Amino acid sequence: MTKFSIFAFAAAAAIASASVQAEDFATKKDAESIVVKAIKHIKSAGKDTAYADFTGKKAGWVDKDLYVVVYDLNGKVLAHGQNEKQVGKELIGMKDADGKEFVKERVDLTKSKGKFWHDYKFTDPVTKKILPKSMYCEKLEETAVCAGIYKR
């Protein structure tokens, strides 16, 4: 192979790899859809069943790097699709890599806006790297039902 052919092949492989990898990550539309779906599930199945489904990673509640998290309006985790050890913990003072109290901000935004996107940094469960993340949340009664995407 010529140097140009090798370069062209390597470039094509890198582009193909990047597009496959991009498909492994959730989009803003995916996050908004799963939050709407989660709210419907909470209303139809009841809080206890729904929260257990989200936390237990029941089929349909974890997709790629997308999962559902539910907080009460004091920052207590009621369901967490990626880390069941956080369920029951008050995380109101939790800070991201930049020192941002993201749970407190999220609770405040839930109280004031009801539906919103919220930016912070968090460890990506796929890459294990701290990345910028954007969380979509909707208020349901006295809770915030959320799902987020990592910005790449």
Domains and CATH numbers, the chain: 26-150 (3.30.450.20)
Burial of 72 (0-12, 13-18, 19+ CB in 10 A): middle
Those residues with Cβ within 8 angstroms of residue 24's Cβ, 6 or more apart along the chain or in another chain? 64, 65, 126
> Which tens digits make up the pLDDT trace of 77-106?
999 999 999 999 999 999 999 999 999 999
To the nearest 10 degrees (0 to 180), the angle between helices 28-45 and 47-55 is 140
More confident residue, 108 or 152: 108
**Model confidence over 8-19: pLDDT tens digits?**
333 334 443 343
* pLDDT at residue number 24: 77
pTM of the model: 0.83
Type of residue at 33: S
According to the model, what pLDDT value does residue 23 have? 66
